[in-house]
Structure 1
């Protein structure tokens, strides 16, 4: 995700958070720390990076604002998947090629975001490396992973996930040779129409990180460093990333996976 610098963001906390720790995070991110506040009463900032008893979150301010957005692996959709399991028949598992090999796949999620897709793949047995270049989103994801490690069910899955703070396109372009069996991309593209149904997370993310305008460079770098394939997740009707034509596509109800094979997977 793009590391665009927010213009209306501050760091704050509830009375139950450790103010010193939160203040240090604000200093690290170069953001103002406004101390203990109630988000609905804040008027000077549109968004808060807010710490409370449930962890770190992005919170829209003002009365009637939607609830917080946080990296969550023990509750919500991620928690439901964890409790009820999921097999290699899932579309994302097919997209990365899990049905084609018995090999434990190492997958580089180069646009990690809040880590939901990486968590699904880790839960299916893949070894995941996550890269997130937005310092704010990285902080949210690191917090979510830390909380997840305290959960007896989530912890073994999260042990399969390694988080890096890097710009993926630059990081991939600077080296040579394979970095992973599969490189997985889910870039943020320009949103061309106003849609009230756009997910809360996506609206907040756009306010923070902007669009991934370097997606063609990221795809090219990924193709140069993946061993077996590159997989790009896109909204179902969205255009493909500028560059080579994907060899195949897998479509779901709202999203699809563009698949760029490099060579065949080993059978074992």
Structure 2
């Protein structure tokens, strides 16, 4: 059985067939059903499953009706300033949503995800998307790798990617705030990223044109050099560290 084999590979306890809302001894489950691999918080009243979903839902809608290079993430990467196909390294890939948007706009993506559980969920989502006639050409431009982004960046060396994109987990201090279910799951599985400063330094040594860091809108910048400029949205912002001008 594929689910049991994956549990063994990830060194997770195999529970067999269960209903997440009836589970009490674990805060979050990794499980597989007819729709693919998912993470879900447990217990009564827990929100629904979290998947890496590119074909349907908000990512499917965004693929079909998105704002093109006018989208904030696209502007941060610099797609309005160049017609070149940029190689973007997403060093904190997560569920791959921003990477998929950039792939849909013509970028070539390398995705790094160090957490093995999140990596498995993302790999499952990409595999399912590759079977869809509309998504397959985009997924073909997305290469997922496992392991430490810092190690990858330090071994790759200078100019290994045109743009390095970072979206590290920000320490969550407001216990009263309600956050979306994806973030609730991520905090259970991943926790906070306490090496963001080291990751930024490695990214700046590796990127050819710029490093882009996504942050909550009111959060401080990652420790290190000051961003060259910022782009702000309603809930998040992008700190941009320019190294040299993008190609025309």
Aligned to 1:97: 78
Alignment of 1:110-259 (within 5 A): 110-259=91-240
Superposed CA offset, 1:140-175 (max 9, x none) = 000000111111111111111110002101221233
8 Å Cα contact 1:227-1:263 kept in structure 2:
yes
Task: Give the Cα–Cα distance (whole angstroms) in 2 for the partners of residues 204 and 163 of structure 1.
Answer: 21
- What is the aligned counterpart of 2:36 among 49, 55, 62? 55
Q: CA deviation at 1:86?
A: 3.1
Task: With the length of structure 1 as denominator, give the TM-score of the two structures.
Answer: 0.90
Please report the RMSD computed on the Cα atoms of aligned residues, expressed in angstroms.
1.1
Q: Equivalents in 2 of 1:94, 1:255: separation in Å?
A: 14
| Distance in structure 1 (CA, Å) of the matches to 2:231 and 2:23 | 44
Following TM superposition, the consecutive aligned residue runs of length 4 or more in structure 1 with deviations greater than 4 angstroms are none
Residues 195 and 121 (structure 1 numbering): CA distance in 2 closer, same or farther, change over 3 Å? farther
Q: CA deviation at 1:48?
A: 0.8
1:49–1:59 Cα contact (<8 Å) kept: yes
Residues 37, 121 of structure 2: 8 Å contact kept: yes
Corresponding residue number in structure 2 for 1:64: 45
The gaps in structure 1 that reach 5 residues or longer are: 1-19
Partner Cα distance (2:134, 2:155) in 1: 37
Secondary structure of the structure 1 residue equivalent to 2:110: strand
Q: Does 1:73 align with 2:64?
A: no
Per the TM alignment, residue 184 of structure 1 is displaced from its structure 2 partner at its CA by 0.3
What is residue 16 of structure 1 aligned with on the other side? none
Is the CA contact 1:86–1:124 (under 8 Å) kept in the aligned structure 2?
Answer: no
Quickly say closer, same or farther: Cα 1:195–1:145, change in 2 above 3 A.
farther
User: Any idea what the Cα deviations from partners look like across 1:96-150, whole Å, max 9, x if unmatched?
Assistant: 0111111111100000000000000001111111000000000000000011111
In structure 2, the residue matched to 1:41 is: 22
In structure 2, distance between residues paired with 1:98 and 1:38 = 44
Provide TM-score, normalisation by structure 2. Answer: 0.97
Partner of 2:69: helix, strand, or coil? coil
CA distance in 1, matches of 2:136, 2:126: 9
Aligned length: 248
Separation of aligned partners in 1, 2:90 and 2:231: 18
> Aligned residue for 2:12?
31
C-alpha distance in structure 2 between counterparts of 1:44 and 1:112, whole Å: 29
